[in-house]
């Protein structure tokens, strides 16, 4: 569920609450939450103690807490992950996986994750074309809100692909931050069918689509993110409101806000693609 706008809401909250504070200790309550930290949970907690959080950055759906200049705590929320700040005395959440305490004994950073698709790990920062990023995510492409985002280059790369346009939008190595929700919403806004072959799309149509991707994400960010239930929340546990503005995502048989036709749901990559059968006609081939 958390895509770029939701992760950005979380990033801002973590930056506000964690920058300038020093970690006193951490506690891993579920080892799967730090499975990407290969030296293991004990190494993770040992190396975190005494470190100051100097910045909080994001690329696509990844965010990381910068420690010093060369290392960071990398986090991904997966499907159901939350980063919350809670007073030390607050009862443990049912799915609390990792707790980080600070030397000021103020609110703790808590990683709560029902499905444990997400997690935390420590990684070195490396220099790439697009800036300093943690080494394990150097293969993740810049996202549409990245200062280094190059539209012309992305259009060319998409047109070189031999696949459907939605698959391309979801490929984090091509452009990051887009998930099922915003892919479907941007395709609807651009009046493009999800299976449209990338190689046959005029460059101008792809530019229009990418403009809609950026626009729908900005709209969602302005609304505090998208949420269907209590799973996605900001660091204070509050939900966003953008779900009220979705045109087609999750609305099978609902009315298209533009033409009134019944929204269709197609099987797509073992999940779903939502679209308007009138505004987004199927490609001929």
DSSP, collapsed to helix, strand or coil, labels residue 217 as helix
Count other C-beta atoms under 10 Å from residue 38's C-beta: 11
Residue 95 annotated as binding site:
yes
Q: Please state, in angstroms and as integers, the Cα–Cα distance from residue 44 to each residue in 23, 186, 281, following that order.
A: 12, 39, 51
Indicate whether 117 belongs to the interface with DNA (CB under 7 A): yes
Subset of residues 174 to 193 that bind DNA, contact rule: CB under 7 A:
176, 179-181
Q: Using the minimum distance from each CB to DNA, give the nearer residue, 79 or 151.
A: 79
Q: Using the minimum distance from each CB to DNA, give the nearer residue, 209 or 231.
A: 231
Q: What's the min distance (Å) between Cβ of 161 and DNA?
A: 4
Indicate whether 254 belongs to the interface with DNA (CB under 7 A): no
Q: What's the min distance (Å) between Cβ of 68 and DNA?
A: 23
Subset of residues 256 to 275 that bind DNA, contact rule: CB under 7 A:
269-272
Taking CB under 7 A as the criterion, the residue among 1, 23, 34, 263 binding DNA is 1
Distance, CA of 159 to CA of 154 (rounded, Å): 9
Indicate whether 161 belongs to the interface with DNA (CB under 7 A): yes
- DSSP one-letter string for 218-267: HHHHHTT---SSTTS--TTS---SGGGG-SSTT-TTSBPTTT-PBPEEEE
Indicate whether 116 belongs to the interface with DNA (CB under 7 A): yes
Subset of residues 120 to 149 that bind DNA, contact rule: CB under 7 A:
136-137
Which stretch, 9-17, 50-58, 72-80, 83-91, contacts DNA (CB under 7 A)?
Answer: 72-80
Residue 161 annotated as binding site:
yes
Subset of residues 231 to 250 that bind DNA, contact rule: CB under 7 A:
250
Q: What's the min distance (Å) between Cβ of 64 and DNA?
A: 13
- From 74, 57, 78, select the one nearest 8 (Cα to Cα): 57
Which stretch, 147-155, 170-178, 212-220, 235-243, contacts DNA (CB under 7 A)?
Answer: 170-178
Burial of 118 (C-beta count, 10 Å sphere; 0-12/13-18/19+): buried
Tell me if 59 sits within 8 A of 145, measured CB to CB. no
Q: Which two tokens stand for residue 53?
A: 């959080």
Indicate whether 54 belongs to the interface with DNA (CB under 7 A): no
The answer for residues whose C-beta is within 8 angstroms of residue 193's C-beta and 6 or more apart is 165, 187, 275, 280, 281, 282, 283
With residue 63 as reference, give the H or E element that holds it.
strand 62-67
Residue 97 annotated as binding site:
no
Which stretch, 59-67, 104-112, 123-131, 148-156, contacts DNA (CB under 7 A)?
Answer: 59-67
Indicate whether 81 belongs to the interface with DNA (CB under 7 A): no
Tell me if 79 sits within 8 A of 94, measured CB to CB. no
- Name the site residues for DNA (rule: CB under 7 A): 1, 3, 32, 60-62, 76, 78-79, 94-95, 114-117, 136-137, 160-164, 167, 170, 172, 176, 179-181, 250, 269-272
Binding-site residues? 95, 115, 161
């Amino acid at each position: 569920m958390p895509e770029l706008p939701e992760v950005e809401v979380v990033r801002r909250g973590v930056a506000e609450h964690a920058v300038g504070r020093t970690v006193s200790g951490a506690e891993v309550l579920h080892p799967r939450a730090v499975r990407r930290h290969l030296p293991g949970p004990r190494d993770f907690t040992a190396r975190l103690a005494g470190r100051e959080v100097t910045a909080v950055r994001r690329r696509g759906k990844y965010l990381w807490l910068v420690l010093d200049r060369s290392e960071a705590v990398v986090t991904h929320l997966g499907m159901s992950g939350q980063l919350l700040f809670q007073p030390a005395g607050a009862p443990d959440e049912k799915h609390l996986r990792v707790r980080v305490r600070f030397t000021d004994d103020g609110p703790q950073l808590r990683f709560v994750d029902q499905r444990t698709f997400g997690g935390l790990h420590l990684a070195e920062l490396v220099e790439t074309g697009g800036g300093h990023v943690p080494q394990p995510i150097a293969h993740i492409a810049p996202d549409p809100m990245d200062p280094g985002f190059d539209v012309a280059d992305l259009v060319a790369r998409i047109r070189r692909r031999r696949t459907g346009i939605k698959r391309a939008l979801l490929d984090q190595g091509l452009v990051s931050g887009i998930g099922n929700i915003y892919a479907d919403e941007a395709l609807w806004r651009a009046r493009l069918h999800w299976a449209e072959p990338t190689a046959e799309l005029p460059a101008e149509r792809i530019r229009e689509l990418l403009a809609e991707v950026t626009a729908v994400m900005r709209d969602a960010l302005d609304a505090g993110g998208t949420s269907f239930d209590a799973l996605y929340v900001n660091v204070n546990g509050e939900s966003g409101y953008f779900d009220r503005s979705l045109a087609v995502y999750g609305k099978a048989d609902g009315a298209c806000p533009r033409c009134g036709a019944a929204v269709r749901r197609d099987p797509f990559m073992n999940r779903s693609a939502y679209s308007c059968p009138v505004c987004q006609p199927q490609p001929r081939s």
